[in-house]
Structure 1
Amino acid sequence: MKVHCKYQSNTAAILFNAEKYISLNQKWKCISVNSKGQKVLSNTRPRHAYRSIRECRWTTFIATCQTVKNPISLEFAVEETTANLPLRYSVKERLPVVACFSPLFFNERWQMIALSVESYASSGVSKQAYYIMSVLKDVYDILKEYEKQKMIDINFWGLPRHPNARNQLDWRNQAAAHADCYLKYREAAEFIIISDVDDFLFPRQGSDIYTELEIMARTKPKMASFFYPRFESEIIAAKTFKNFNIAESLKSIRISDKRQTGKSIHRTALVETVWIHWADLKKNNAPYHKLDPADNAFIHVRNWTFLDKYDDVRLLNNVVYGYRKHPYYPDLTSIVPTNFIPFLEKRFNARFSSKYSLHNLTSSEIYYDKINECYDGMLEKVADFYRYPYFKSLICPTPARCSISAVPNLPCAVAQGIYKTIQLADNFFIDYLISRHKIDIIQNGCIIN
């Protein structure tokens, strides 16, 4: 299989969801036209964007085709029927390190957003890409402020309209979002981080993340990705913006020795597509380097305690839910230099001290436990199937299966899109966005869209 790293000029990448057993021998056509009337017709075929999981019947595919220079339209043809696909252009500015995060849905923790954005920015990440499905308006307001300051890009994301796809794509179709983000920034970046917003990473082998990655790339030139271990952690935050102290929250982080599946940072010159934990399509099937926990790790800030004020010393001295402290770095002060947290705090305060509209933010904590309970229930059903395969049915774990009630007078920003369906051949339908997603503010809480 030929892997394109990086793409040559005038290449279009088509990312799409489909039933995972479609034939990879199909031959399709791409027809591109530019403003001068020049046209290029090229052939393509589908490839798996990543290895599909057993539990779900749908997955993500990629197809690449050559185009005319500076195309203004791209048609996708099967037999004699075509669909005009919306064009998006990859980012061109130089961004040495980009972070792509899993789509946010039912997100209500503005504290987590602030801590994550500030931490990655202070660690030297050039751009952070946020994909929004649904977030409380307070969270959206924080994100918009960071976007204004060009620290993050906001992208909108939704589940497909096809009912089978909605129920048969794992975890809110997050793998497609990761691939989408990766392709968007791959031409601009040297390294791309794929993680969740509550996975924090700080440099330990240099002054910033880029320096750390450069060192590893120079000493391990054949490695496609750097796989960082990950450890569960806890944190304390104030309930209100008025009492929120970003330095105190960072200093409250306690890192346990409870190991979780790690996450990767990918070299864009060697990796074409990615999954949440690993690279998938790689040049010459290049290997990855697995970091030792003593070198560095993602800090998974999964467990949150919200207080009125930062004055409960007993809680600050907790170890994560009975697990032992991490042997190399039990807290953040054992990782970052002494001036890191004060510098980050100074920048945060300068950014928001005059943003008075945000000073009344409070915590809601309405959705987290409900989503967690729904996810745990789905994972238990999956585990039951593997324990008793002859008595249990297999389900695809997706939030489309979660039932979350409306919450009156709770504004939520929800990504909405308009789709069109075209039949290209017998048993071949394509359902695609005819306009980009936009945000609607819904007054009765968040929804799965």
Structure 2
Amino acid sequence: MLESCRLIFKGKRFVRLFIFIVVCLGFLIAVTILAGLTIFDRQHNHILHDYVARNDDIVVLSTTYYENSKSFPPSTAVILFNSVQVFHLKYSTLNVVAETMQGNVEVQFKIQPVINKIPFFCKWVPYLAVGQVPEDHVLLKLSTNKKDGMELSLRSPFQTPRKVVACFSPLFLNERWQLLLATVEIYSHYGAFMHFYVRSMITDLFKLIKENKNTRISPWPSIRIGESRAAPPMFDPNTELEFRNQASAMTDCLLQYKESAEFIVFPDPDDILVPVLGKNYHEEFTQAFNMFPTAGAIVYNMTQTSIESSTTPALYSPISLLASIKFKGEQRWGKLVVRPERVDSIWIHRSYSIKEGYEQKVMPVDVNAFYHLRIWKFPDYPTVNRSKISNPPYFDPYHLNATKRTVYNVSDGLKIQRKFKNRVSEGNMKAIYARLPKVSLYYPLIEVCYNRIFYSMKDIGTCRGPEYCNIPAFPGLRCTNVASEFVTYKSYRNIYIHQLISTDFEEGENGCTL
């Protein structure tokens, strides 16, 4: 019997058949693995493709130099840039050459992801690169050769002391003056200095916001990569950046106020926080961090509300928004307040770079929460009513007919109303305020788009932003847009560097742009 088996397996036909079967099985296994990897890659924003790609693009947004710092060692520079979400897995450092009077010094800047989450639903994310450079440096440049490099445009952080700074997520196609004027008045009243990043806004509203002594407005351009690039020719990285590159904007704001602010809060413009633990934001946040002494960041959750306002400037009242609040009984993602020396970067709902020894804590909604001004109604009757302002609704986030406290203190409400009226009655502000539009052009379109791509929770694993909204042009509409210039350096090893070198506002009459 054994002899017969040997004869069978020694036969050439059976050997060829055996080899053929093995080859076929190997081929099927290989195809299955490749198909599985392809499906995985497609479902996870092509992270495998980006990881094995030979070359990459980065877009440098800012470089902040700290001569002395509460957060970093002396003479530290921090580069904020965008790139693919696996960039930090491919490169641990960026090579910076510091030119000094004694010669050139190479410094390895350590790369840190701002959003340390893989896979993330957007292909492009922000990063920091941090390094300590010689104090006597003349200039810094990104370079991997001794001939040239991309010179970094250095800036210093703000030095004017601020108790509380509010860094708002970037604004685009912005025309909802009823919201923004209320936000500015309320945050200003409770002691916040406000920093707005703007991509586009109707010009009259822009002028009103800019004139407020407690605001600073910075242009926030869409990013561009040059013709010399690693990405395909038609690829637009803005379509793969989360909501106007908001994590970059918020981190940029944090880096600028790191040395001057005691607390920094990161809301959207439709998130209103009224202090409960104190009379103003500084007292509120001081008490909050006393409640959570190990906190680097504290999350204040959002409670969903509907509000009423007027389309006519003469009938508008900022505090009437709060007086008209109706709570929906729904809580949503929280927004952060940080001690800037304890945090190095920020995302809208979380910080991934809280320093060792600190953590992120959550403020109970029962204690305090942001009012998310989510649902807007514009009745025909006037909303300015002193008796209405003097009888604010109760804070009722769970829709349980709570009567413990009102949504604001009456004396605060009357002061906010009076300051606002005085402000829009001064000089040329009166004429500008009267010109504010009664009809919204962009907001209804954006609302429909965001309900589709974001609030409906459909396609939650895909990148979402205004670039996916079909917004028509409105010739004749006066808008303030952003103009910017980028340059490209292509001699860094395996990396094309694109740097923002200038950005400014420009007025036009052909509508707002993304």
The TM-score normalised by the length of structure 2 is 0.76
Q: How many pairs align?
A: 424
How far does residue 246 in structure 1 lie from its aligned partner after superposition?
Answer: 2.7
CA shift, 1:62, in A, is: 0.3
Letter in 2 for 1:74: L
Alignment partner of 2:309 out of 237, 246, 260: 237
Residue 217 of structure 2 is aligned with which of 146, 154, 168? 154
CA distance in 2, matches of 1:324, 1:217: 25
* Matching residue's letter, 1:193: V
Higher mean displacement: 38-47 or 278-287: 38-47
Q: 2:453 aligns with which of 378, 389, 403?
A: 378
**How large is the Cα RMSD of the aligned pairs?**
2.8
Deviation of residue 159 (structure 1)? 1.6
The alpha carbon displacement at 1:176 in A equals 0.8
Cα offset, 1:285, TM superposition: 5.8
User: 1:363 aligned to 2:363?
Assistant: no
The answer to whether the aligner puts 1:16 opposite 2:91 as a matched pair is no
Residues 398-413 of structure 1 mapped to structure 2, 5 A cutoff = 398-413=465-480
- Alignment partners' CA distance in 2, 1:312 and 1:207: 25
Provide the rounded CA distance (Å) in 1 between the counterparts of 2:488 and 2:383. Answer: 57
Could you tell me which amino acid in structure 1 is paired with residue 450 of structure 2? Y
Which of these two proteins has the greater Rg computed from alpha carbons?
2
The partner residue of 1:271 within 328, 335, 343 is: 343
What is the distance in 1 between the residues matched to 2:104 and 2:185?
A: 46
- Give CA-to-partner distance per residue, 1:86-136, whole Å, 9 cap, x none: 1221111111211110000011111211100111111122x1110000111
Q: Per the alignment, in what secondary structure is the counterpart of residue 9 of structure 1?
A: coil
Distance 1:39 1:379, change over 3 A: same
Once the two structures are superposed, what CA deviation does each residue of 1:185-209 show, in whole Å capped at 9, x if it has no partner? 1111121101101100011011111
State the partner residue of 2:506.
Answer: 440
CA contact (8 A) 1:294 1:328 kept: no
The answer to whether the 8 Å contact 1:256/1:326 transfers is no
Q: CA distance change for structure 1 residues 245 and 218 in 2, over 3 Å: closer, same or farther?
A: closer
Q: Give the structure 1 partner of residue 140 of structure 2.
A: 74
Q: Does 1:120 align with 2:187?
A: yes
The corresponding residue for 1:104 is: 171
What are the within-5 Å matches in structure 2 for residues 131-150 of structure 1? 131-146=197-212, 149=213
Give 1:348 deviation, angstroms.
1.5
State the SS of the aligned residue for 2:154: coil
Of the three residues 496, 500, 505, the one matched with 1:429 is 496
How far is 1:216 from its partner? 2.6
Change (3 A) 1:226 1:406: same
| Cα pair distance change 1:211/1:422, threshold 3 Å | same
Contact (CA 8 Å) 2:320, 2:383: kept in 1 or not?
no
Quote the Cα distance in structure 1 between the aligned partners of 2:361 and 2:455: 32
C-alpha separation in 1, matches of 2:437 and 2:166: 27
> 1:299, CA displacement in angstroms?
0.4
Which of 75, 82, 93 is equivalent to 2:160? 93
Cα 1:370–1:47 change in 2 (3 A) is same
C-alpha distance in structure 2 between counterparts of 1:47 and 1:121, whole Å: 34
Q: Assess, with a 3 A threshold, how the Cα gap between structure 1 residues 327 and 269 changes in structure 2: closer, same or farther.
A: farther
Following the alignment from structure 2 to structure 1, what is the Cα–Cα distance between the partners of residues 499 and 480? 22
The partner residue of 1:51 within 111, 116, 119 is: 116
SS at match of 1:259: strand
C-alpha deviation, 1:16, in angstroms: 0.2
Is contact 1:10–1:68 with CA below 8 Å preserved after alignment?
Answer: yes
Deviation for aligned residue 1:160: 1.0
Deviation at 1:373, TM superposition (A): 2.4
CA change 1:407–1:284 in 2 (3 A) is same
**Would you say the 8 A contact 2:316–2:384 is kept in 1?**
no
8 A Cα contact 1:110 1:142, kept in partner: no
Look up the SS of the partner of 1:96 in the other structure.
strand
Structure 2: how far apart are the matches of 1:154 and 1:224?
26
How many Å apart are 1:281 and its aligned residue?
Answer: 0.1
Counterpart CA distance in 2 for 1:5 and 1:260 is: 33
Q: From the superposition, tell whether residues 365 and 104 of structure 1 become closer, same or farther in structure 2 (CA, over 3 Å).
A: same
Asked if 1:195 is matched to 2:264, the reply is no
Moved more, 23-32 or 243-252: 23-32
Task: Say if 1:420 and 1:243 are closer, same or farther in 2 by CA, change over 3 A.
Answer: same
In the TM superposition, residue 256 of structure 1 has moved relative to its aligned partner by 2.8
Which amino acid is 2:412 matched to? F
Percent of residue pairs identical: 27
5+ residue gaps in structure 1? Answer: 387-393
| 312 and 357 in structure 1: CA distance in 2 versus 1, 3 angstrom threshold | closer
TM-score (ref. length: structure 1): 0.86
Cα distance in structure 2, aligned partners of 1:374 and 1:432: 31
Which ranges in structure 2 are unaligned for 5 or more consecutive residues? Answer: 1-68, 226-234
Kindly provide the amino acid, as one letter, of the partner of residue 204 in structure 2: D
Q: Which AA in structure 1 matches 2:442?
A: Y
Looking at structure 2, the residues matched to 432 and 166 of structure 1 have their Cα atoms a distance apart, in angstroms, of: 15
